[in-house]
Amino acid sequence: MACAHYDPSDVFWGTLAGALESIDAGTTFIVAHEHMVYSSEHMRQGLEAFRRSGIRAAFCPAITQRVKQWNPKLEMESDDVPAWWEETYWALAEEHPWEAGRVRLGLAYDSYPLGREKTVEMFERARKQKVQLITSHSGGGTSQLTYHCPLLSWSKETD
């Protein structure tokens, strides 16, 4: 939820700085599980930073649960995969790869609670667009979403 405080330029500078820190330390490839996807422009600025950085990357936007309001009580947005997310992501899928192949599109997917139909639809379409990889978290014995998106653990069915 920290990403609620970031505007697209914060995503750009933070991502660029992180990529440069990585190069400086001797890293040549990053799988970017992109949580900071709060809007179409957030997604695009994350990608732009990787393109500019010079590092090799699989840029993998995630479907992030967003804050609707902080006060007087915390409320999260209820939509599952926002229309703007799909519009932007599938447009990027048509464009990729970038920088002569140095930056490729992937998919970060932790939204298994959305169920079979939506999950299969996302995976099949991503694979048809030849995304480099599909990455998911898997933490401990309980839902892997519990520590990343605690809201999801009580708003949706989990095991």
Partner 1 sequence: MKAVPSLQEYSLLGPDILISHANSTSSSDADLLRSHGGHISSTPSTELQMPPMGFPICFKPSFAPMASLGVDCNSLISASLATEARLVLQSARAAHNQPLIDAGKPPKELNVKAADVFNLATIKGARAVGLGDSIGSVAEGKLADLVLWDKLSPGMCAAAEQDPVAAIIAHSSPRDVVGVIVDGVVRKESGALVSVEVEGGKRLEWRDVAKELLASREKIQGFVEKMDYPRIMRDMGMA
Q: Which of residues 73 and 78 has its CB atom nearest to partner 1 in the complex?
A: 73
Q: Residue 23 is inside which H or E element, if any?
A: helix 8-24
Residue 66 CB, nearest distance to partner 1 (Å)? 14
Distance CA 41, CA 63 (A): 14
Q: Does 129 bind partner 1 (CB under 8 A)?
A: no
**Hey, which residues does 37 pair with through a beta bridge?**
none
Q: Does 128 bind partner 1 (CB under 8 A)?
A: no
Secondary structure (DSSP) of 64-83: ---EEE-SSS-EE---SS-H
Q: Which of 40, 66, 81, 119 binds partner 1 (CB under 8 A)?
A: 119
For residues 46 and 19, the answer to whether their CB atoms sit within 8 Å is no
Taking every pair of Cα atoms in the chain, the longest distance, rounded to a whole number of angstroms, is 49
Q: Which stretch binds partner 1 (CB under 8 A): 36-44, 80-88, 89-97, 143-151?
A: 143-151
Q: Does 27 bind partner 1 (CB under 8 A)?
A: yes
Provide the sign of the torsion angle of the four alpha carbons 48, 114, 67, 78, taken in this order.
positive
Residues 39-98 that bind partner 1 (CB under 8 A): 52-56, 58, 70, 73-74
Tokens 């490729």 -> residue? 104
| Site residues for partner 1 per CB under 8 A | 5-6, 9-10, 13-14, 16-18, 20-29, 31, 33, 52-56, 58, 70, 73-74, 99-102, 110, 112-113, 116, 119-120, 123, 127, 131-147, 150-151, 154, 157-159
